[in-house]
Amino acid sequence: MVRGFKRGNPIKFINNRWVYEDDAPITQERSCKRCGKMPTKEGYDSCLGYIEGAISACCGHGIDKKYIIK
């Protein structure tokens, strides 16, 4: 089984789809495990918000190191 994280929440790939550990579909947004906030309506990490010039950015959600790619 393949495992990963979405906003710090454990997820798994089973029966050809990604789900949370409790089998809820990952299309149901969950808050960040680190800060407890939901993503912005644009999909940004709430603690980072919009970062001008960024192609991708992540706060790390308490799992990985944060990064910004410009």
Task: Determine how β-strand 17-20 pairs with β-strand 56-58.
Answer: unpaired
One digit per residue, the tens of pLDDT, for the chain of length 70 reads 899 999 999 999 999 999 999 999 999 999 999 999 999 999 899 989 999 999 999 999 989 899 999 9
Q: Are 32 and 46 in contact, with CB atoms under 8 Å apart? A: yes
pLDDT for the residue 1: 86
Q: How far apart are CA 66 and CA 35, in angstroms?
A: 13
pTM reported for the whole predicted model:
0.77
* Structural tokens at position 2: 């393949």
What values do phi and psi take at 24, rounded to 5?
A: -70, 145
